[in-house]
A = this chain, B = another copy of it.
Amino acid sequence: MADVDIPALREKHPDHWMKAAALRMLAVDAVQAANSGHPGMPMGMADVATVLFEKHLKFDPSRPDWPDRDRFVLSAGHGSMLIYGLLHLTGYADMTIDEIKNFRQWGAKTAGHPEYGHAKGIETTTGPLGQGLSTAVGMAMAEEMLRARFGRKVQDHYTYVIAGDGCLMEGISQEAIGLAGRQKLSKLIVLWDNNNISIDGEISMSDITDQKGRFKASGWQVLACDGHDPEDIDRALTEAKKSKKPTLIDCKTHIGFGSSKQDSAKAHGSPLGDEEIAKLRDTYGWPHAAFVIPNDVADQWKAIGERGAADRRDWEGRVAELSEQRQKEIARVFALEAPKKLSARIKALKKQISEEAPKVATRKSSEMVLEVVNPIMPENIGGSADLTGSNNTLTADLGIFDEKNRKGRYVHYGIREHGMAAAMNGLVLHGGIRPYGGTFMAFTDYARGAIRLSSLMGIPVTYVMTHDSIGLGEDGPTHQPVEHLAIWRATPNTWTFRPCDTVETAEAWELALTSQNTPSCMALSRQGLPTLRTEHKNSNLTAKGAYVLAEAEGKRQAILMATGSEVEIAMKARDLLQEAGIGTRVVSVPCMELFAAQDESYRRKVLPAGPVRVGIEAALRDCGWDRWLLGERGRENRQAFVGMEGFGASAPAPTIYSEMGITAENVVEKVKALIA
Contact = CB atoms under 8 A, between A and B. Distances in A.
Interface of A: 34, 36-37, 77, 104-108, 111-113, 115, 125-129, 165-166, 169-175, 178-179, 181-182, 198-201, 204-214, 216-219, 384, 386-390, 400, 402, 412-419, 442-446, 448-449, 451-453, 455-456, 473-479, 482-483, 486-487, 489-493, 620, 622-624, 626-627, 630-634, 636, 645-647, 649-652, 655-656, 659
A37 B475 CA distance: 8
A182 B170 contact: no
A198 B37 contact: no
B199 A208 contact: no
Contacts of A623: 490
B216 A208 contact: no
Contact of A207 (B206, B216, B414, B649): B414
A112 B474 contact: yes
Contact of A181 (B166, B208, B445, B474): B208
A128 B492 contact: no
Contact of A416 (B171, B211, B647): B171
5 closest A-B pairs by CB: A171-B171, A206-B414, A626-B626, A213-B217, A174-B174
A476 B174 contact: no
A129 B415 contact: yes
B474 A36 contact: yes
Contact of A492 (B216, B389, B620): B620
A125 B198 contact: no
Q: Could you say which of A171, A178, A218, A492 has the most chain B C-beta atoms within 10 Å of its C-beta?
A: A171
Contacts of A626: 626-627, 630-631
Given A113-B478, A490-B620, 18 more contacts: A106-B655, A108-B650, A112-B476, A113-B650, A127-B476, A128-B478, A170-B416, A171-B446, A181-B208, A199-B389, A205-B414, A210-B218, A213-B214, A214-B218, A443-B449, A483-B492, A626-B630, A630-B630
A424 to B, nearest CB: 15
Contacts of A473: 36
A441 B275 CA distance: 34
B174 A173 contact: yes
Contacts of A490: 483, 486-487, 620, 622-623
Nearest to A212: B217
7 contacts: A127-B478, A200-B388, A210-B217, A448-B448, A456-B647, A483-B491, A627-B630
Contacts of A175: 169-171
Given A174-B171, A626-B626, A626-B631, A646 B492 contact: yes
A674 to B, nearest CB: 15
A169 B622 CA distance: 33
B416 A651 contact: no
Contact of A106 (B107, B452, B659): B659
Contacts of A442: 128
Residue with the greatest number of chain B CB neighbours at <10 A, chosen from A219, A387, A453, A622: A622
Contacts of A415: 129, 165-166, 169-170, 198, 206
A68 B579 CA distance: 64
Contacts of A77: 478
Contacts of A36: 473-474, 652
A413 to B, nearest CB: 7
Nearest to A623: B490
Nearest to A34: B474
A204 B106 CA distance: 49
Given A213-B213, A646-B493, A624 B622 contact: yes
A415 B127 CA distance: 13
A219 B213 CA distance: 11
A474 B104 contact: yes
Contacts of A651: 104-107
Contact of A178 (B205, B209, B387, B400): B209
Contacts of A412: 200-201, 205-206
Given A169-B178, A448-B445, A209 B217 contact: yes
Contacts of A444: 448
Contacts of A111: 476-477, 649-650
A464 B418 CA distance: 23
A151 B448 CA distance: 42
A477 B206 contact: no
A43 to B, nearest CB: 19
Nearest to A445: B448
A100 to B, nearest CB: 14
Contacts of A448: 444-446, 448
A425 to B, nearest CB: 13
Contacts of A216: 210, 213
